[in-house]
Chains A and B, each alone.
Chain A
Amino acid sequence: MAVQLDKSRPIADTQVFGPKESRRGYRLNKFAMSMCKPENREAFIADEEAVLASADLEDVERQLIRDRDWRTIMNEYGGNIYMIMKIGAVTGHGLYQIGAHQRDETYEEFLATRNAAGAK
């Protein structure tokens, strides 16, 4: 059986979304998934604090969302990018803004690294 994920060769600056991440991130990712329903998006935009208060999240996870701290959500709290993007949809952060934050760059700095940044 070929080794599909080689723990002895960690990929720098990369979180491979596997069992550890999926377990750690379950609540955050499930909360993000709830934003697929328009009524939940409307409720979040209308009263973010009320939605966060009633959500099945730890306090530290609520604070990460308040802080729009995408980098920590992704690197340390098991965020799955496809789910977390749905939180971005209600906070006004697109994939490339979330990406720039993960790279510790401004949005403009990140765009300057691309081949054709008009394709966004």
Chain B
Amino acid sequence: MAKIIAGIGTSHVPSIGLVHDQGRQNEPDWKPLFDGYKPVKTWLNEKKPDIAIVVYNDHGCDFFFDKYPTFAVGAAENYAVGDEGWGRRPLPDFEGNPDFSWHLCNSLVYNEFDITVCQEMSVEHGFLVPMHLCWDYDEVWPVQVVPVAVNVIQHPLPTALRCWKLGQAIREAVEAYPENKSVVILGTGGMSHQLNGARFGHLNTEFDNNFLDKIETNPNVLTEMTHQQIMEQAGAEAVELIMWLTMRGAMSENVKRIHRNYYAPMTTGMGLIALEDSASSEHP
């Protein structure tokens, strides 16, 4: 059967993508961010997961407000790198696993998650930045992917608890998959930031560090947060953090922390946490 071996929470700030493409990772103000991912890259390179489920949000690349799904799951052979308005980034497209994706979609729908199934989907910075922060690539990526897009940009959004339950349903689906596949799940976005109004640039490093503590050791308290509470404390766009709860909901209660990093240079708290599933470490 398939199993979830690891979970990663990470920001997906778009400027990281530009710096990556321009090869500026060692500039003094960027180095603390990129260095923070090196242990995770090494760890993933050792673990070699077969599939990455990436929980992210589309920022107006493949989805617009004519039809904006609350939860959308990719079920494609391939996922193209999209054009968000600045041209296509020089990254390889992604290989999907339609059998696994359709299994996941079946299981989620019968578990009462009424997702949108996507047989064509282009992916953008919310998905791309975490991928190149966590994996090296050449002509192809070393892992198959399943994009899971969540509406965190047009209220009403799914609740934090709903995102957590989605994670639990994903775990159930993964464990029921008949093939031996090792799966890593990424919850992306955040941390504290606000991009609208005169409060543009609001940061809350105390909130972010507390979130990093709790996502590891006591995630249930985070599922009780309302969107209002998150936005008041951490900025309107910090609601993206509910996607980290999908990652954590898909993991065992006890996890082993592999790495953690935090850096807040400009307008976003850039957080990273890498967790190993305890069920996975007991039965390697």
A-to-B contact residues, CB < 8 Å: 2-6, 9, 11-19, 22, 26, 29-30, 32-33, 35-38, 41, 74-75, 79-83, 85-86, 89, 95-96, 99-100, 102-104, 110, 113-120
Contact = CB atoms under 8 A, between A and B. Distances in A.
A4 to B, nearest CB: 4
A5 B155 contact: yes
Contacts of A75: 197
26 contacts: A2-B159, A3-B228, A6-B226, A11-B199, A11-B232, A12-B199, A16-B231, A17-B155, A19-B155, A22-B154, A26-B65, A32-B60, A36-B60, A36-B61, A36-B82, A36-B85, A74-B196, A80-B154, A82-B59, A82-B60, A86-B84, A103-B200, A104-B198, A114-B267, A116-B266, A119-B27
A119 B33 contact: yes
B277 to A, nearest CB: 29
B226 A2 contact: yes
A99 B154 contact: no
Rank and list the top 3 A-B pairs by shortest CB-CB distance, nearest first: A118-B29, A86-B85, A116-B265
B171 interface: no
A83 B159 CA distance: 24
Contacts, number: 143
Chain B contact residues, majority secondary structure = loop
Nearest to B157: A4
Contacts of B155: 4-5, 16-19
B265 A119 contact: yes
A20 B86 CA distance: 28
Contact of A120 (B194, B200, B228, B266): B266
Interface string B224-253: 101110011000110000000000000000
A16 B159 CA distance: 16
Interface string B1-41: 00000000000001100000000000111100100000000
B156 A4 contact: yes
A9 B232 contact: yes
Given A30-B65, A118-B27, 18 more contacts: A2-B159, A4-B226, A11-B231, A13-B198, A17-B196, A17-B236, A18-B156, A26-B65, A80-B60, A81-B195, A100-B200, A102-B197, A114-B266, A115-B265, A115-B266, A116-B265, A116-B266, A118-B29
B54 to A, nearest CB: 18
Contact of A30 (B64, B153, B232): B64
Contacts of B154: 17-18, 22, 80
